[in-house]
């Protein structure tokens, strides 16, 4: 298992910039293309635990899937939001970088330097 894992969307400039910063500092990187892989509830809950955030905190509120599914509804539970992430992974903020029990959201990309 790699020391660093990045939830990466190659079409996202911030994700590409964050990956470039990682690659300057280490070769021990797993690039997880989360839009192409099947996510699990356990995986998302682990990411939230490492980030010390709630599901609502890592939602991309400007994504069409977020708006069309009324995910701004405050009555939605944590499990409801995680289920939405499984069905619509584009709504997950990116990039997310995990190193062991630490994690960051790479916005701005320089945030990743906190993990070194």
Residues annotated as catalytic (active site), given as ranges? 12
Residue 6 burial by Cβ neighbours in a 10 Å radius (0-12, 13-18, 19+): buried
Query: Do residues 96 and 6 make contact, with C-beta atoms less than 8 angstroms apart?
Result: yes
φ, ψ of residue 39 to 5 degrees: the values are -80, 155
Query: Do residues 58 and 93 make contact, with C-beta atoms less than 8 angstroms apart?
Result: yes
Q: In the structure encoding, which two tokens stand for residue 95, read together?
A: 């990039």
Q: In the structure encoding, which two tokens stand for residue 73, read together?
A: 């509804």
């Amino acid at each position: 298992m790699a020391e660093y894992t990045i939830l990466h969307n190659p079409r996202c400039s911030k994700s590409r910039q964050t990956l470039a910063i990682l690659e300057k500092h280490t070769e021990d990187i797993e690039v997880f293309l989360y839009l192409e892989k099947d996510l699990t509830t356990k995986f998302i809950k682990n990411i939230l635990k490492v980030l010390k955030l709630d599901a609502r905190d890592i939602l991309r509120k400007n994504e069409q899937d977020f708006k069309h599914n009324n995910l701004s509804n405050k009555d939605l539970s944590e499990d409801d939001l995680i289920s939405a992430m499984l069905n619509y992974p584009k709504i997950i903020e990116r990039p997310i970088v995990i190193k062991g029990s630490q994690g960051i959201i790479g916005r701005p990309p320089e945030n990743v330097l906190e993990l070194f």
